[in-house]
Amino acid sequence: MNSATLLGLCAAALVGLGLFGLLIHSEPIRKILAFNILGGGVFIFFGVVARRGAAAGFDGDPVPQALVITGIVVAFAATALALALVLRLSQMSGKPISGTPASPERREGAGERC
């Protein structure tokens, strides 16, 4: 088994875990975490594609790496937006974000977005 195959299997496992988490969890914060795991799997898969050098038979193909940077930035921005929404919601309802109660400092700076 070479490194590309190993990474590919890791990517598949992460994507599977992420999708599973997205489907079974109802708490938003867990869904966001699951999305990040899913995203991580997708990004690693881009690395695998680059390693295989599909485009021109190079040792490594730079294009997927350029693509994955964009993907990571987008996922980061998406996570920030989702967290801002979650924080604002918990601020308004007074309910904790997850099973544990939200600390007061966390409530202070929360949810400037909407």
Read off φ and ψ for residue 84, nearest 5 degrees. Answer: -60, -40
Phi-psi region of 64 (alpha: psi -120 to 50; beta: other; left: phi over 0): alpha
Q: Could you give the string, one character per residue 63-102, with x where binding to other proteins holds by CB under 8 A and - elsewhere?
A: xx--x--xx--xx-xx--xx--xx-xx--xx---------
Residues 38-57 as x/- pattern, contact with other proteins by CB under 8 A: xx-xx--xx-xx--x-xxx-
Among residues 114, 110, 86, 108, which one has the least CA distance to residue 98? Answer: 86
CA-based angle 95:19:90, to the nearest 5? 10
Binding footprint of other proteins on the chain (CB under 8 A) = 15, 18-19, 22, 28, 31-32, 35, 38-39, 41-42, 45-46, 48-49, 52, 54-56, 61, 63-64, 67, 70-71, 74-75, 77-78, 81-82, 85-86, 88-89, 92-93, 113-114
